[in-house]
Amino acid sequence: MVSQDLLDILRCPACVQEKEGKLSLEHGTWLVCQDCQRKYPISHDIPVMLIEEGDKWVSTPTASLPVPPPEIKQA
């Protein structure tokens, strides 16, 4: 589980320079940017805050996000 203190300081890496980039916790396993709608999975209690990962889910409606998120493949 991601702590509320961490959620309060995390911001969308794609938006933070120009907008607030505030994130909301959805389904307990996703962080959704309120500005751009990128969705970042939480894997093993660690938010995966890579823009490329958020881009993969930007067009997926929040209600349709898989729970738990799929495993992140490492290069």
What is the tens place of the pLDDT at every residue in 7-63? Answer: 899 999 999 989 999 999 999 999 999 999 999 999 988 999 999 999 999 999 999
pLDDT confidence of residue 1: 75
Distance CA 55, CA 40 (A): 9
> What pLDDT shows up at residue 75?
62
pLDDT confidence of residue 4: 87
Residue ranges of the domains in the chain? Answer: 4-63
Taking the domain 4-63, which CATH number applies? 2.20.25
Residue with tokens 């389904």: 27
Q: Is the whole-model pTM more than 0.85?
A: yes
pLDDT of amino acid 2: 81
